[in-house]
Amino acid sequence: MRRLLVFQHVPYEILGNLDPLLRAAGFRIRYVNFGRQPEARPDISRYHGLIVLGGPMNCDQFERYPHLETEIEILQQTISAGKPVLGICLGAQLIARALGARVTANKTKEIGWYELNPTEAGHDDPLFAHFDNSQMIFQWHGDRFEIPHGATHLATSPDCQNQAFRYSDNVYGLQFHLEVDEPMILRWLHTPAMAREAIELGGEHYPEHIGAETKLHINQSITLGNHVFGEFIKRFHIHPRRTPLPSR
């Protein structure tokens, strides 16, 4: 049985639709919730791969959230060992930082459903080959990552150029949320801090507007997510080989 480590930062950002896919594939999943266990230092050598979920913090807030440095260190160890790694939103930003890339504020917050386009390289990627030329994808972020040196840029959007990257054959960073279903989105829209953030932006970001758009796009998003995450799970069938980190 494959053992998978999952880094969680807040209780409402979870594996979502990824969870049943992983369990059906025979994974034993261990969550490390750094919100409850900020001093945790899990041993990645005991696991076959790592998924890092989203969260409201900035990945450079080391003084307030010292576990972020721990996560970056473990990400570097996992990537170097050649094990599959997936980062979602904050998780993707932490992978970028682990690979030496900068993470900065995006020109605008993306909260709700946005057009996403694969790059030319994305069309040739096993995960992103499942995307149409343009997809409506759920987003909730205010920061953006630079594409790490040696990584492949996979997707873009009109308001955030860098939406996804692959490093080596088995490390993926996704700025967006394909793991969500409708109840998960509604939970976010009713979480006070997240609802306040959406309301402050106003207009198309109001929870009522996002809820209505969710009904239009969620089924297509779940189908796409099942394909994309199914391809990521196949990365675990590739024999791990040591992967050098980018030179600093």
Q: Provide the annotated active-site residues.
A: 89, 177, 179
CA 51 to chain CA mean position, Å:
8
Contact 91, 68 (CB under 8 A): no
Tokens at 27, concatenated: 């994974």
- Using only C-alpha atoms, the chain has a radius of gyration, in whole angstroms, of 17
List phi, psi (to 5°) of 174. Answer: -120, 120
Instruction: Supply the DSSP string of 35-71, one letter for each residue.
Output: TT-TT----GGG-SEEEE---SS-TT-TTT-THHHHH
- List C-alpha distances in Å: 142 to 64, 107, 176, 224: 18, 8, 11, 24
* Residue 45 neighbours by CB distance under 10 Å: 9
Tokens at 120, concatenated: 């030319």
Distance between CA atoms of residues 232 and 138, nearest Å: 19
Tokens at 78, concatenated: 């996992």
